[in-house]
Structures are given as C-alpha cells and as structure tokens.
Amino acid sequence: MVGAGEVRAFIRRFAELIAEHKDELTALDAAIGDADHGTNMDRGLQAALERLPGEGATPADLLKAVAMALISKVGGASGPLYGTAFLRAAAAAGSKTTLEPADVAALFRAALAGIQERGKATTGEKTMVDAFAPAVEALEGKLGQGAGLGEALQAALEAARKGSDSTIPLVATKGRASYLGERARGHRDPGSLSTVLLFQAAAETLGGAGGATAGA
C-alpha cells in the first residue's frame, strides 16, 4: 500500500532522475526545441523538494506542493503541463492517507487527463502524451488482470518507454517541435523522456517490495 512516505520517496526519486538526466533532456530539446527542458524540469523539482511539507502531510499535500512548485518555477510548456498533472493527482488523492492500487491508477489517470486538457494533445502528436497515455493504460490493464501494483507499474514503465520510442519517427503537431515539420523526424521528444522518468520513479518507489532503489 502507498502512504505519504512512498509518495515522498516517489517525488524525491523523480527529482533525482531528472537531475541525473538533465543534460540529456536538454540535448533532446536542443535538437527539436529550445534547449531548456532539462533545466526547466530540474529547476521545478528542486524547488518542489524545498517546499515539500513535513511530517503529517497527506499524499495530496505532497502532490499539491509539487504542482505549485512546478507551476511557479518551471515556465515553458512543461511547467503548466506537469503542474496540472500533479494538481489533478492531488485532487484525486483527496484526503486519503493511504492509497490502494486502484487509487494509484486513478491518480495517474487524472494526471493524464489534466495534461490533455491543458495541452490539447492526443497520442501521435510527438509529446509527453505519447508516453503518458500508454503508461496509464498499461497500469490500468495490468491491475485489471489482477497483477500487483509493483508489476503493474513495471508494465507502465515499459509502456512509457515504448511510447517515448514511438515519438522518434514522428513529425510533431504540438509544441515547439511542430515548427520543424519533417525535420523533427528521427528525434525523441524530450517531454516523453521526462515522462518515462516519472514512471521509472513510480515503479521504483510505489510498487511495494519490488521498489528496490526507493529514494534516499
């Protein structure tokens, strides 16, 4: 089961993974965007870590703190998008202090809905949605088949990875990469990689015993 401790570990691990992949994310953005996705996400998540509420905070409190940090520190497209995602996840978590596997799935579903409302992208437009949507579907699918949360999150991560890979041959129709037309082909969408990292953090920290490398 997922409590505030796991959510906190998830947030820490996401921040850690973004920091580790900061240059890679920025390099991807340099190829088809404006060379700031890694810097943006890192700035936002570092701010989130500073603002995380202490003992007694609910999962929703923690997720909302991340949302507000991302909205008020990132700027760019990814700030409002991930910010809205965390805000919707917080709303879905409500006042619960522990989350069942189905709650976790609902939370990611709400996050995806937030991203799509804010950004108006569907899959195939070469954005983070291409990783996020299949990941949420895999998570729900696996849980529906009776798998444990750990296994389901692992499947979500793999789906996110595949989804991110699927952006490589695409032409973009949303975000900055859309300005490039055909020239965007052959490059991975940077936002789809940060989404992979989000699901990696989730798989490592929210999946119970399976989450071996849960945050420091």
The reply to whether 200 sits near ligand ADP by the rule CB under 6 A is no
The reply to whether 34 sits near another protein by the rule CB under 8 A is yes
Token pair recorded at residue 28 = 């991807």
Distance in angstroms between the alpha carbons of the first and the last residue of the chain = 19
3 state SS for the chain: CEEHHHHHHHHHHHHHHHHHHHHHHHHHHHHHCCCCHHHHHHHHHHHHHHHCCCCCCCHHHHHHHHHHHHHHHCCCCHHHHHHHHHHHHHHHHCCCCEECHHHHHHHHHHHHHHHHHHHCCCCCCCCCHHHHHHHHHHHHHHHHCCCCHHHHHHHHHHHHHHHHHHHCCCCCCCCHHHHHHHHHCCCCCHHHHHHHHHHHHHHHHCCHHHCCCCCC
Find the binder of ligand ADP among 175, 207, 211, 215 (CB under 6 A).
175
Give whichever of 88 and 174 is closer to another protein, judged by the CB atom. 174
The reply to whether 36 sits near another protein by the rule CB under 8 A is yes
Choose the contact partner of 100 out of ligand ADP, another protein, Mg ion, none; CB within 5 to 8 A by kind. none
The reply to whether 121 sits near ligand ADP by the rule CB under 6 A is yes
Find the binder of ligand ADP among 101, 119, 207, 215 (CB under 6 A).
119
- Minimum CB distance to ligand ADP, residue 186 (Å): 15
How far is it, in rounded angstroms, from Cα 6 to Cα 212?
Answer: 12
Q: For residues 132 and 195, is the Cβ–Cβ distance under 8 A?
A: yes
- Minimum CB distance to another protein, residue 48 (Å): 13
Give whichever of 31 and 68 is closer to ligand ADP, judged by the CB atom. 31
- Minimum CB distance to another protein, residue 155 (Å): 30
Find the binder of ligand ADP among 8, 13, 37, 88 (CB under 6 A).
37
- Minimum CB distance to another protein, residue 183 (Å): 7
Binding site for ligand ADP (CB under 6 A): 29, 33-34, 36-37, 40, 76-78, 81, 115, 119-121, 127-129, 174-176, 189-192
Binding site for another protein (CB under 8 A): 26, 30, 32-36, 39-40, 43, 71-81, 118-119, 171-176, 178-181, 183
